[in-house]
Amino acid sequence: MEKNELNIHCDGGSRGNPGPAAVGVVIKNQDNQVLFEISKTIGESTNNVAEYRGVIEALKLLKNKQVKTQRINFFLDSQVVANQLAGIFKIKELHLKKLYLVAQNLIQELKIPVTYIIIKREFNQRADFLVNQALDQATF
């Protein structure tokens, strides 16, 4: 791990797919200290859209807070979304392609190298908790 890098655990989920959806994000520094958390509903959506939106929300927060780092490591439990963001899987759905482009534009603006790491759900528990917390507290 580089001296100054961020580890970001992202999750997104919907109840119904599509259905009420939310994102959960945990941003940690290289010492594993939590710097920021996001727990936010995003309206009616699918799981994949919510996963993308989690990454986008994290990138927007970093941009708005003008966070400086040498690398961003995204930890995602969605193999499809992680591989699409990494350019390994082709994106066939237009609405997902648009979200991909939003994420890529934010990464270009931040000028920080990004990696995507696929993890098992049990290693993404805090982000998953934040998704469910937002959904449980929401009034749709």
The low-confidence residues of the chain, meaning pLDDT below 70, are 1-3, 140
Residues of the chain with pLDDT > 90, as a percent, come to 96
Rg (CA), the chain: 14
**pLDDT score for 69:** 95
Q: How many domains does one find in the chain?
A: 1
Give residue 140's pLDDT: 66
Contact, 1 vs 68, CB < 8 A?
Answer: no
- How many whole angstroms separate alpha carbon 40 and alpha carbon 67? 21
pLDDT (tens digit per residue) in 4-27:
999 999 999 999 999 999 999 999
β-pairing verdict for 5-14 and 34-45: unpaired
pLDDT over 70 for what percent of the chain? 97
How far, CA to CA in Å, does 131 sit from each of 21, 38, 87? 8, 9, 26
Domain at 46, CATH number: 3.30.420.10
Q: Give pLDDT, residue 2.
A: 46
pTM (2 d.p.): 0.95
| The pLDDT value given to residue 138 | 86
Query: How long, in residues, is the chain?
Result: 140
Which domain covers residue 90, as residue numbers? 5-137
Residues 124-136: tens digit of each pLDDT: 999 999 999 999 9
